[in-house]
A = this chain, B = another copy of it.
Amino acid sequence: MKLYEYQAKALFKEAQIAIPNSVRIETTDAAEEALQKVGYPCVIKAQVLTGGRGKAGLIQFVKTKPTALEAVKTLFDHPVQIPSLLIEEAIDIDQEVYLSITVDAAAGKALVLASAEGGVDIEVLAAESPEKILRYPIDILIGMMPYQAREIAYDLGFNAPLNKSIAQTILRLYHVFITYHAELVEINPLFITKSQTVIAGDGKVSIDDNSTHWHQAYENNETSFGSEAEKKAHLEGIPFIEFDGDIGLMCAGAGLTTTVYDLINDAGGSIANYLEFGGPNYKKALQAMEICLAVPSKVILIVTFGTIARADVMAQGIVDAIEKLKPNRPIITCIRGTNEQEAVNILESAGLKPLFDTEEAVLLAVSMAKGETQ
């Protein structure tokens, strides 16, 4: 679960990591007062959960009131729905540092990533000069110790007196990582100001999805959806992505669903939506189909090969859904796994013609979507 920049920075502040002065606004009306509080120059930053805001024009540096008000208006009018803006003092920057803590899955440790060359081009640096990015594993049973933070700061090239404040920031960021059961905490850039202080220019915190029960304050973070279908899928907890192709996928299991996705592309077909109703959602055929039907598509392709997700349960769910929703497009089923024969009986009784081979089902769907098969 991703946090907005302003939420991440609130956690930083709580952990005593310095952040710029700022005011968050939710409407254009609130802009004037906020701008007056923050002063000029300032930075107006769209609070959205997607990355690459700078390159997408969602962060505006402004020096005067008219340009600031203009920027606020432009951002609130942006086609991407922006729930709020952070108006933040501009910082007099000497250097930008990259700092993050994530997971070293192989070692079973936390992993600090750090570079003295932070900023928007960090990924280019990672690809072209990976040696400029430090990786420092941390034993989470022992926790991060001050000497480790010092070592990282020295290795980045920061000697006295900056070493101390950088090391302190690293320790505090680690505290956020642990306290908030994060999969990622990131400060990029961490500003070194002209007066040699350290301040978090941006903030990303992503809480592990299996640990959100400890941090329920953020559970309504995903509030902007591209469509009603996306919103409904989100509320049902069903993984769903909308595209503009022809075939609606209604598959079970992420691996199988992405494989079907590949097979359709390989066969020259196109996808209308990705929808995965496996695992805990395998009894939600009705909701899944309702979401699929809300997306324009020429055919719905249902592929499952369940073990705990029983084939007969899914088949019955699909049959019930068809009866209730009366879909206006053809449906191809390829339901296999536990209680497969019962599933076949259920589907056939409802007049469907179940298939048993995924690749065959995909070819049929592509062909039907192109109007080659009825």
A141 CA to B142 CA, complexed, in Å: 6
Closest-CB distance, A174 to chain B (whole angstroms): 16
Q: Which residues of B contact A142 (CB under 8 A)?
A: 141
A153 CA to B141 CA, complexed, in Å: 25
2 contacts between A and B (CB under 8 A): A141-B141, A141-B142
Q: Which residues of B contact A141 (CB under 8 A)?
A: 141-142
Q: Which 2 A-B pairs have the closest CB atoms?
A: A141-B141, A141-B142
CB under 8 Å from chain B, chain A span 139-177? 141-142
Closest-CB distance, A108 to chain B (whole angstroms): 13
Closest B residue to A141 by beta carbon equals B141
CB under 8 Å from chain B, chain A span 96-149? 141-142
Copies of this chain, whole number: 2
Interface size band for A: under 10
Closest-CB distance, A56 to chain B (whole angstroms): 44
Closest-CB distance, A81 to chain B (whole angstroms): 43
Closest B residue to A143 by beta carbon equals B141
Closest B residue to A140 by beta carbon equals B141
Closest-CB distance, A278 to chain B (whole angstroms): 31
Closest B residue to A139 by beta carbon equals B141
Closest-CB distance, A175 to chain B (whole angstroms): 16
Closest-CB distance, A69 to chain B (whole angstroms): 50
Closest-CB distance, A138 to chain B (whole angstroms): 13
Closest-CB distance, A247 to chain B (whole angstroms): 48
Closest-CB distance, A144 to chain B (whole angstroms): 13
CB under 8 Å from chain B, chain A span 314-360? none
Closest-CB distance, A173 to chain B (whole angstroms): 21
A142 CA to B139 CA, complexed, in Å: 11
A25 CA to B142 CA, complexed, in Å: 44
A84 CA to B139 CA, complexed, in Å: 47
A311 CA to B142 CA, complexed, in Å: 43
Can you list, as one digit per residue, whether each of A41-72 has a CB less than 8 Å from chain B (1) or not (0)? 00000000000000000000000000000000
CB under 8 Å from chain B, chain A span 175-219? none
Closest-CB distance, A322 to chain B (whole angstroms): 47
Closest-CB distance, A216 to chain B (whole angstroms): 20
Can you list, as one digit per residue, whether each of A22-51 has a CB less than 8 Å from chain B (1) or not (0)? 000000000000000000000000000000
